[in-house]
Amino acid sequence: MVITRPTWDEYFVSITKQVATRSTCLRRKVGAIIVKDKRILTTGYNGAPMRVKNCIEIGMCLREEMGVPSGERHEICRGLHAEQNAILQSAYHGVQIRDSVIYSTNQPCALCAKMIINSGIKKIYYFEDYPDPLAIELLVEAGVELVRLDF
């Protein structure tokens, strides 16, 4: 009998997709995990800050109600992005993430790209594109590798 195991990327992709199921966003379910030396350091999904009602509880998305296109007007959203939550969890729990990698269900936006750059994350694996060319420009300029996975 031949037993097959997922590659490390397949393993982390499946976990990242599972993390996304915790999202409280009505528009898009996003998950992120920060990994170093094949160990998961933190996870994050998109949703409202702690002790703040989320869009599922409220039953509406303000950006959706206002017809705001994807990738615009992040400041009027109640939620944080998955990448932001994963980075913030490292600070909250005192976990060092410098020189790590991040897996995200989506290409990061410019806000998340800036946080990823300054937190010392060296590589981003993602599965779905996101309409934010500035994010790619910033990541390339900062030398953060961006890898799209197709599984």
Give the active site residues.
83
Contact 117, 123 (CB under 8 A): no
